Structure 1
């Protein structure tokens, strides 16, 4: 039977990290995440376990750790196994999520255009990943962490582009559907799996900007719709009208083209935003 969590840090993980204090951040979809302060610094410690619908979530922390070691050579990302799955510890990324940062604009009676500088910081983080040869596979507003020192694109457990030990690898079965590109949804409906691409990441970033600015998902479907029906709506229906004011609205429209080949690259998006500033 799948477990539900949240789970405490296993004894051998505590012994390895020597936490001074810890705070539960989130427990959902097969992942318990702790904010842990240690003598060596502040860490995000993830415990993966099988969820109600997926067993691959148990492997995700270790898979992410192997990817981070490739993306940031020299960064200490310890990981290992525990009785429910795998665990990892990575440096804490401080800041505010894109969705929270743009919240005031969603509730204003006179919405203003989102700040292009903030959009550019997100695009630059994604472009950096793409230029390193990876596709993220799970781009969403809460994975852009924005701080005065820059923006971090977190949660790379589903990324594709480098070598992952077979023992920790698993097939890609999509991401949070609210940001899924039509071709990804269609592949999952037809075969049960898909291949993350940079083009789908660009679509997801456009959908992330759209929902963060307006509060609306990119495609209209009932809140209680089954995941399969959500994906079918993404395949069958056009995205909502892009009503984000300013230069960002036209850019989002381009990013969310149904044809992946028509979408701009993340690098081109950065250049367009710099030109608009």
Structure 2
């Protein structure tokens, strides 16, 4: 059972959602957290623990997190629906936020730390986690904020392989005259420049963490959870200040010496994030973009194309049970190569590649003067990582910058709602239903979308 949530919080949530029940998840370091069930879904509830030496600071941090979430939502840096409710209770403060279903990073990486981590599906999955994590941070950075507590326990990996960031209490942003002074967060993922600032200032001095420190924390967390070793070597019983001194030197373990298996692209990403020079680290926005590439198809891509056109990926294009043959794949690639040599060019077929592995294909076709169509297909083990959306955005940019096309159309099978979400995120607007298409004797109307050159 554990400690019950504050009665004031329960009343406020019941007034809003109806009857609630709560399960205590943690009670440590002066803070408690519950998973709250309501008739309208689950929430996460946090409150300071009364009687703790940290009660006052934890209450101030909860009040601070509530303010941060309000400002971040106003800047569209976090989902506006994430913050639910906040208030006071006789022991301090409480805060309720939307419940996010997912596994903490360390547990989610357990497969990747073992010998089965070399399976083909794991590498795109790892990069998808890193990319979506970078996207979350990039949104904060664009609004002038840093999360300032980037670490494995504040990072959830969803069933679809994307990353969600939680706990914004320590975030550093503009115009924060009245705040709990920031003195670092989890020691193991503290950036060298933050460690140096903490060591060189008094305990009541606020240290303003910046975006580069978040990028270090991302790299350090990936290093730790993939390799199973903290990036800076020191003994567990070492005093915190001595740990910070070790971190401030900017020297880390060599990832190649502790990694569970070779993954050069992932290692390069982590190493770049943990450059001792903050100015030499990539930005979160750059990280989010660099993990996916589009390239023209090549002769030796036929094997990858055959893998793409199989299983669930072709359910809405060729029907259940379809399997592309080697000959079909070779013809598909040959057609793309032929189109690339035709003037004026009628179509562009790009391979969607992640760490060199072609996981999908996206095609742009010129249909008539000024009008083109967009289509894409992704290998099913790579769904849910945002690759199709990113590829679609890039091809749209390419079409309007490097061709004569001024308007693009796309459509999808009515049962494939995920494809519709891809198009919407890529900037397309739904127009209605297209002409009817015959599939296995059944006539099916396809939703049609368009985007115009700005």
Structures share fold, TM-score greater than 0.5: yes
Which residue in 2 is equivalent to 1:11? 7
Deviations 1:49-89 (A, max 9, x none): 48546852221222112221222355353112223321111
User: Equivalences for 1:240-251 in 2 at 5 Å?
Assistant: 240-243=253-256, 244=259, 245-251=263-269
Give the distance between the partners of 1:134 and 1:268, measured in 2 at CA.
17
Which residue in 2 is equivalent to 1:129? 140
Which residue in 1 is equivalent to 2:98? 91
Structure 2: gaps (5+ residues): 75-79, 294-352, 355-454
Which residue in 2 is equivalent to 1:3? none
User: Equivalences for 1:231-246 in 2 at 5 Å?
Assistant: 231-236=244-249, 238-243=251-256, 244=259, 245-246=263-264
Q: Closer, same or farther in 2 for the Cα pair 1:35/1:248, shift >3 Å? A: same
User: Equivalences for 1:116-265 in 2 at 5 Å?
Assistant: 116-147=127-158, 148=160, 150-162=162-174, 166=178, 169-191=179-201, 192=203, 193-236=206-249, 238-243=251-256, 244=259, 245-265=263-283
Alpha-carbon contact 2:34-2:44 (below 8 Å) kept: yes
Query: Secondary structure at 1:223's aligned position in 2?
Result: coil
Give the distance between the partners of 1:102 and 1:198, measured in 2 at CA.
25
Alpha-carbon contact 2:129-2:162 (below 8 Å) kept: no
Which residue in 1 is equivalent to 2:84? 77
- What displacement does 1:143 show? 1.6
Alpha-carbon contact 2:56-2:92 (below 8 Å) kept: no
Query: Secondary structure at 1:78's aligned position in 2?
Result: strand
Number of aligned residue pairs: give it. Answer: 269
Q: Which protein is richer in strand relative to its size?
A: 2
4+ runs deviating over 4 angstroms: 49-55, 162-165
- What displacement does 1:7 show? 4.4
Q: Larger relative CO (CA 8 A, sep 6+): 1 or 2?
A: 1
Give the distance between the partners of 1:203 and 1:181, measured in 2 at CA.
6
Give the distance between the partners of 2:272 and 2:130, measured in 1 at CA.
15
- How big is the alpha-carbon RMSD for the aligned residues of Structure 1 and Structure 2? 2.3
Give the distance between the partners of 1:264 and 1:55, measured in 2 at CA.
37
Give the distance between the partners of 2:149 and 2:22, measured in 1 at CA.
26
Deviations 1:115-159 (A, max 9, x none): 212221211111122122210000012222122284321101111
- What displacement does 1:27 show? 1.7
Structure 1: gaps (5+ residues): 1-5
Which residue in 1 is equivalent to 2:286? 268
Alpha-carbon contact 1:48-1:60 (below 8 Å) kept: no
* Larger mean Cα displacement after TM superposition, 125-134 or 181-190: 125-134
TM normalised by structure 1 equals: 0.88
Query: Secondary structure at 1:87's aligned position in 2?
Result: strand
Which residue in 1 is equivalent to 2:22? 22
Structure of larger gyration radius: 2
Give the distance between the partners of 1:271 and 1:12, measured in 2 at CA.
45
TM normalised by structure 2 equals: 0.55
Give the distance between the partners of 2:90 and 2:3, measured in 1 at CA.
11
